[in-house]
């Protein structure tokens, strides 16, 4: 993997992106359900060994044609950028819950989602690092929603109480902007709406985005 | 999922835990490889649909017998606690890389691991939230290694440069302890050893652990 980062672009029409959402998003959904089942199963070790052998066969079948490295982002012909491989919101990424983010132009983002057994830390509780993972993403989404997409510069989290596994939600909003820095606050909430963790972050417009803006003479791409 | 947290205990012998590691850890490995393949595949949509149908059948087979809720922790008869379901170190958890953590009794923990395409944020780069996820875990491991296991109270991260996907490592150490609070620092490092992200956290001995200590009249369990 190179140390320098390239901004990979794959041109797709909105229709092609929709088809990807249904077919390959459906595959990711199936792998998510399998991950939960493989963690919780108590079938016999013989059954487990047979399932494993079948999974290895199916993996080999998927690998007969594949992109050489990581996923990158897809840019549709209408200019929208979709991070379908993203570890939090990527509908093609089986480790992403995935979050379906609602955004408003004044720099606010929110999402409701379910965190099951694979996101556990202490018994029955969402892993503290998983809370950080989703908060980092939603704070970045708020920055982007307000027209200031950026990469995480700092992130500070205060854990006020446990977040039980199950239904959860996050919300974030821009506090203020200072040049290439956007200061964002956000919260994790449990099913009854109580705040469990508070976050504050500084997001910085990265060089590749600044270069893309200069090259294409336009504002940062919308991330969807 | 109940709002109150129970400290689930499953008694297993060291031999049973080793067998779980091989058989069910192997299943999780197969699901990890499948997750990577399903994200990167470019086979035809017909092939994808067939693979999906087979995955759903295998998932149903694993679900014929399963634990009812989340995984919890396993306590072996030698008193060691293993979080095989943990989202970062759980060898049975397909979303965990998983980290194999080395610990020293003076409160230091480290791990080297590989982060592939499913951990991506920006193109070619580890998701900032994934960095937070692994740092939260390794800081907690350092606290536990020093005899002060705890849950995250605060976590502050400073992102100094991108972490390219690929080989990575983390290290954490106890700075000091104040009653039930343990102050821990740590770092994420890229393949060449350069520090990419610095972290500081406060970890707090949780009530369930304090109660378990009072009930069993012993020090906090070793987490392995």
Task: State the pLDDT at residue A3.
Answer: 35
| Nearest CB to B117; choose among A52, A64, A71 | A71
Q: Which of A157-171, A201-215, B112-126, B158-172 has the lowest mean pLDDT?
A: A201-215
Separation of alpha carbons A59 and B211, rounded Å = 45
Contact A36, A118 (CB under 8 A): yes
The mean per-residue pLDDT over the stretch B151-164 comes to 96
Task: State the pLDDT at residue B6.
Answer: 42
Across the interface, whether the CB atoms of B151 and A87 are under 8 A apart is answered no
Task: State the pLDDT at residue A10.
Answer: 61
Task: Give the number of beta-carbon pairs within 8 Å between A and B.
Answer: 352
pLDDT in tens, B72-94: 876 666 666 678 899 999 999 99
Task: State the pLDDT at residue B98.
Answer: 95
Q: pLDDT-based confidence at A180, cuts 50/70/90?
A: confident
Residue B124 clears pLDDT 70, i.e. is over it: yes
- Residue labelled with tokens 């070790």: A45
Residue B4 clears pLDDT 70, i.e. is over it: no
Q: Which of A16-20, A164-168, B207-211 has the lowest mean pLDDT?
A: B207-211
Task: State the pLDDT at residue B5.
Answer: 39
Across the interface, whether the CB atoms of A7 and B123 are under 8 A apart is answered yes
Task: State the pLDDT at residue A208.
Answer: 66
The mean per-residue pLDDT over the stretch B31-60 comes to 97
DSSP letters along chain B, please?
--SS----EEEE-HHHHHHHHHHHHHHHHHHHHHHHHHHHB---HHHHHHHHHHHHHHHHHHTTSB-SS---EEEETTS-EE-TT-TTT-TT-TT------EEETTTEEEEEEEE-GGGBSSTTBB-HHHHHHHHHHHHHHHHHHTT---EEEEEEEEE-S--BSEEEEEEEEEEEEETTEEEEEEEEEETTS-EEEEEEEEEE--HHHHHHHHHHTSPPPPB-
Which chain A positions have a beta carbon within 8 Å of B164's beta carbon?
1-3, 5
Q: Is B9 on the interface with A (CB under 8 A)?
A: no
Separation of alpha carbons A34 and B2, rounded Å = 24
Q: Give the C-alpha distances (Å, rounded to integers) separating B199 from A99, A109, B90, B133.
A: 25, 26, 22, 11
User: HEC states along chain A?
Assistant: CCCCCCCCEEEECHHHHHHHHHHHHHHHHHHHHHHHHHHHECCCHHHHHHHHHHHHHHHHHHCCCECCCCCCEEEECCCCEECCCCCCCCCCCCCCCCCCCEEECCCEEEEEEEECHHHECCCCEECHHHHHHHHHHHHHHHHHHCCCCCEEEEEEEEECCCCECEEEEEEEEEEEEECCEEEEEEEEEECCCCEEEEEEEEEECCHHHHHHHHHHCCCCCCEC
Distance from CA of B22 to the nearest CA of A (A): 10
The mean per-residue pLDDT over the stretch A3-13 comes to 53
Residue in B38, B18, B153 with CA at minimum distance from that of residue A198: B153
Task: State the pLDDT at residue B17.
Answer: 79
Distance from CA of A176 to the nearest CA of B (A): 19
Across the interface, whether the CB atoms of B127 and A30 are under 8 A apart is answered no
Q: Which of A67-76, A130-139, B122-131 has the lowest mean pLDDT?
A: A67-76
Across the interface, whether the CB atoms of B123 and A5 are under 8 A apart is answered yes
Separation of alpha carbons B140 and A45, rounded Å = 32
Task: State the pLDDT at residue A150.
Answer: 86
pLDDT in tens, A15-57: 887 888 899 999 999 999 999 999 999 999 999 999 999 999 9
> Quick one: tokens of B3?
């709002």
| pLDDT over 70, % of chain A | 85
Peptide bond into B77 cis (omega under 30): no
The mean per-residue pLDDT over the stretch B27-38 comes to 98
A16 vs B51, higher pLDDT: B51
A207 vs A48, higher pLDDT: A48
Task: State the pLDDT at residue B12.
Answer: 74
What is this model's ipTM?
0.90
| Nearest CB to B122; choose among A3, A5, A37 | A5
Which chain A positions have a beta carbon within 8 Å of B143's beta carbon?
none
Residue A189 clears pLDDT 80, i.e. is over it: yes
Task: State the pLDDT at residue B81.
Answer: 66
| pLDDT over 90, % of chain A | 68
Residue in A40, A34, A65, A36 with CA at minimum distance from that of residue A52: A34
Which chain B positions have a beta carbon within 8 Å of A92's beta carbon?
38-39
Neighbours of A186 (CB within 10 A): 27
Across the interface, whether the CB atoms of B72 and A31 are under 8 A apart is answered no
B109 vs A205, higher pLDDT: B109
Nearest chain B residue (CA) to A60: B37
| Paired residues of A113 in beta bridges | A168
Across the interface, whether the CB atoms of B95 and A125 are under 8 A apart is answered no
- Residue labelled with tokens 């759903």: B56
pLDDT in tens, A52-89: 999 999 999 999 999 988 888 766 666 666 788 999 99
> Quick one: tokens of A182?
């956007």
pTM, whole model, 2 decimals?
Answer: 0.90
> Side by side, which strands form the sheet with B73-76?
B9-12, B73-76, B81-82
| Nearest CB to A28; choose among B38, B86, B134 | B38
* Bridging pattern class, strands B73-76 and B9-12: parallel
Q: pLDDT-based confidence at A116, cuts 50/70/90?
A: very high
Average pLDDT, chain A: 88
Which chain B positions have a beta carbon within 8 Å of A93's beta carbon?
35, 39, 118, 120
Separation of alpha carbons B41 and A64, rounded Å = 8
Residue in A90, A132, A200, A113 with CA at minimum distance from that of residue B122: A90
The mean per-residue pLDDT over the stretch B100-126 comes to 95
Average pLDDT, chain B: 88
Name residues 116-145 of chain B within 8 A of A (Cβ): 116-125, 127-130, 132-137, 140
Give chain B's length. Answer: 224
The mean per-residue pLDDT over the stretch B101-121 comes to 95
The mean per-residue pLDDT over the stretch A143-166 comes to 93
Across the interface, whether the CB atoms of B70 and A162 are under 8 A apart is answered no
């Amino acid at each position: 993997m190179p140390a320098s980062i390239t901004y990979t672009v794959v041109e797709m029409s909105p229709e092609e992106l929709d088809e990807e959402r249904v077919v390959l998003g459906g595959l990711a959904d199936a792998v998510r359900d399998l991950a939960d089942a493989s963690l919780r199963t108590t079938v016999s070790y013989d059954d487990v060994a047979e399932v494993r052998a079948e999974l290895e066969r199916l993996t080999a079948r998927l690998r007969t044609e594949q992109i050489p490295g990581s996923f990158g982002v897809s840019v549709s012909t209408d200019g929208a950028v979709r991070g379908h491989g993203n570890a939090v919101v990527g509908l093609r990424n089986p480790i992403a819950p995935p979050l379906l983010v609602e955004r408003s132009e004044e720099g606010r983002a929110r999402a409701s989602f379910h965190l099951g057994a694979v996101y556990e830390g202490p018994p029955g509780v969402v892993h503290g690092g998983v809370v950080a993972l989703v908060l980092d993403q939603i704070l970045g989404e708020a920055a982007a929603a307000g027209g200031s997409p950026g990469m995480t510069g700092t992130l500070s989290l205060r854990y006020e109480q446990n977040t039980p596994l199950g239904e959860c939600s996050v919300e974030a909003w821009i506090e203020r902007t200072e040049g290439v820095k956007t200061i964002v606050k956000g919260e994790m909430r449990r099913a009854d709406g109580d705040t469990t963790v508070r976050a504050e972050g500084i997001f910085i417009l990265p060089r590749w985005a600044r270069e893309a803006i200069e090259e294409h003479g336009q504002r940062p791409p919308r991330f969807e």
